[in-house]
Structure 1
Amino acid sequence: MATIRRLKNKRFLAEIRKKGVYKSKTFDSKVQAMAWAAETEQSLANQHLIHGKTLADACLRYRDEISPKKKSYRTEYNRLNKFSRQPFASLTLEALTAKHLYDWIEDVSRTLKSSSVNRDLNLLSAVLEQAKRWQWTDKNPVRGLRRPKNPQPRDRRISAKEIQQVMDALGFDGQTINRSRHELAVAFLLAIETAMRQGELWQLKWEDVYLEKRYLRLHDTKNGTRRDVPLSSEAVRLFTLLQPGRGEKVFKSNQASSGTIFRRCLKQAGIYNMHFHDTRHEAISRLAQKIPVLDLARLTGHKDIKMLMVYYNASAEEIAKQLD
């Protein structure tokens, strides 16, 4: 870190102490001292850099060392593999510039939504920041980029007709569970009742479900905090159909394969532009009509009310009914 002091002779002394190295020099003006300090600090930093590492090297090391500690490991693993195969990933970190990234953005924007491009840029920025900690580079060209504008937040609601179509496609009569597809149907209905995420449902264990007290406890949530989720009478009924206490996990099927089955069932039912996560929009929009906003935020796990509003998609017709 550089320090600059004014001496008695009205000159300026610039001093640098960095990783056991000490350098100093006097100047006639403070501006000269600051310029020398910045240049010298940069030179000292470069002396400690490990040169020759490529962006692909950084992506793969990040994938193997950093990503496994994250909840998003599965998807991040695939995205980093994809990054490492990009033509510009063969560049050394010293050679990587903003122009390479702008060229990449222009190319992928033909097939990817702007929100997906920005998520990839966020991940790439995290990789480059970590590479700076590894002393592989001293720059992050993602910072300062003009990014694509994100689209309006998704506001897909799920109609009662569509819910019935999903039940029919999964062969669930609302009462009997004797196939894994029926279990998936119950998960879909519970997501609408509780606003729980798909991953939260599939991680849920019976020891954390308290049907008599009408709530369940989530230990591992997206924002890293524990959350208790109150249960409606319908949610309690649905959990009862799953035969509480039978096995450790509430949902015994594999989450990834269940997602594949769900997408196939939507196609079979003729339902388009729907994702399982849209149940969270539907649930929050319904619950907002029943409970105060602070209670709703506590139920859903949102620490920022602005983020909660992204999921609240009540129609004008629904709001009008509350005015009378």
Structure 2
Amino acid sequence: MASIRSRTNADGSTVYRALIRRKGHYACATFDTREQADNWGDAMEKRIAESLSIEGGEITLASSVVDLLNKYVKEVTPTKRGAKSERYALNMYIERFRALDKTLANFGARDLEAIMHARIKGNADYPAVNPATVRREFGMLSGAFAHAMKKWHLPLSVNPCSRIDRPKANPHRTRRVSDAERNSVCLSLGWDQRSRPTTRAQRVAWAFCFALETAMRRGEILRADWSQYDEAARRLHIPLSKNGDARNVPISARARALLDLMGARQSGAIVGVVEATFSNMWNVAKKGKAWEDLHFHDARHEATTRFAKLVPTVLHLQKITGHRDLKSLLIYFNPEADELAGLLDGPALKLAA
């Protein structure tokens, strides 16, 4: 049956929000009386029992924002690589914020601002979140409105998300990874860096070392398959990277040595640890350690910065890391001032007479 909660408005009036989630169906609505909410819930239960849809059809200005988001989550989100996180975020917004029950004709920037501040400040029921998290979530909301306007011909004059100032993005990380920290990571995960990594924890450590030698992203490493590794050509093929492109990762002697430690070539995933388990083991390993602030992705920063000293041009570096443009690449190039000073003292510098 439908879940019904009462809410008290600022003017003292009470409304009833009914929510039903059953057998893959989801819908919610707000009513002025409990009786209306109960009747709606009964009607929805009957439709589900008769195998009828309870979601809205065509999206118009008379539809609610919830109708739009439900349709988007059902039809568009599954086509995305980040479907799981987007589905979770948008469903969370649908469940928590009654302002989304408004019709699209009456919903606007003020409603979005109120939702944004509520997410950042939190309340007794839901904890506060980082502004960067809200920024990502609002990117998803904006994408839903943009899709509805372009593909479903929703007659909005402007995307409401474009009319508010979103939280500022966090400064780009410049965290480097020292050799001592690399050793500490491996020690915490029980790997000696010389023998074959057999446990899942040891394979997490191996993946971190491999990221330092290849500048690969965590997801790319976890999805890498032995069939994609061409030992003779010294490359690991990535069919689909984060930016949607395929690329070949050059395998250095150090990276090859790590692959050799895995033992005999076999079919299937190289690492063989699923994402959720991998993340949990990484977070447990670093808890309370001196390197607790270290992110796995910092290995990509470190590798990019080191590679920049070895390759002849920025184009070579861009090919290795897979960045589409120089601006994105520069985010990952984080040399220390003393390293740059050493380059200025080098023989390659020629001053004009």
Regarding TM over 0.5, the answer is yes
- Give the Cα–Cα distance (whole angstroms) in 2 for the partners of residues 165 and 180 of structure 1: 17
TM-score (norm: length of structure 2): 0.74
Question: Who is 1:92 aligned against?
Answer: 103
The partner residue of 2:286 within 266, 274, 285 is 266
Q: 1:56 to 1:244 in 2, by over 3 A?
A: farther
> 1:159 aligned to 2:161?
no
Corresponding residue for 1:107?
Answer: 118
| Structure 1 unaligned blocks of 5 or more | 1-47
User: Structure 1 residue 231 and structure 2 residue 251: aligned?
Assistant: yes
Aligned to 1:116: 133
Aligned to 1:323: 344
Distance 1:244 1:322, change over 3 A: farther
Q: Render the CA deviation track for 1:283-312: whole Å, top value 9, x for unaligned.
A: 111111111211111111111101101111
Alignment: residue pair count: 277
Q: Is the 8 A contact 2:60 2:104 kept in 1?
A: no
Q: Is the 8 A contact 1:214 1:232 kept in 2?
A: yes
Amino-acid identity (%): 30
Given that 1:244 and 1:250 are in contact with CA atoms closer than 8 Å, whether structure 2 keeps it comes out as no
Partner of 2:224: 204
Query: What displacement does 1:93 show?
Result: 1.7
1:118-137: per-residue Cα shift (whole Å, max 9, x none)?
22221111111222232455
- What corresponds to 1:7 in structure 2? none
Partners of 1:202 and 1:166 in 2: how far apart?
A: 18
Distance across 2 between alignment mates of 1:54 and 1:241: 56
* CA distance in structure 2 between the aligned counterparts of 1:136 and 1:122, rounded to whole angstroms: 19
Q: Deviations over 1:159-201 (max 9, x none)?
A: 2222111111110011222211111111110111111011111
| Deviating more after overlay: 283-292 vs 129-138 | 129-138
**Normalising by structure 1, what TM-score?**
0.80
* Cα separation, 1, equivalents of 2:298 and 2:210: 13
Structure with larger RCO (C-alpha < 8 A, sep 6+) = 1
2:83 corresponds in structure 1 to 73
**Cα deviations across residues 94-114 of structure 1 (Å, max 9, x unaligned)?**
221100111122222333333
8 Å contact 1:50–1:136 — kept in the other structure? yes
Corresponding residue number in structure 1 for 2:125 = none
For residues 187 and 229 of structure 1, what CA distance do their matches in structure 2 show? 15
Which SS does the other structure have where 1:216 is aligned?
Answer: strand
Mapped contact 1:56–1:85 kept (Cα < 8 A): no
Amino acid at match of 1:307: S
User: Could you tell which deviates more after superposition, 257-266 or 312-321?
Assistant: 312-321
- Structure 1 partner of 2:299: 279
Match of 1:126 among 143, 159, 163: 143
Change (3 A) 1:206 1:83: same
Structure 2: distance between partners of 1:247 and 1:188: 21
Give CA deviations for 1:244-281 in whole Å, capped at 9, x if unaligned: 52232212121221111011101153422222111111
In the alignment, does 2:81 pair up with 1:64?
no
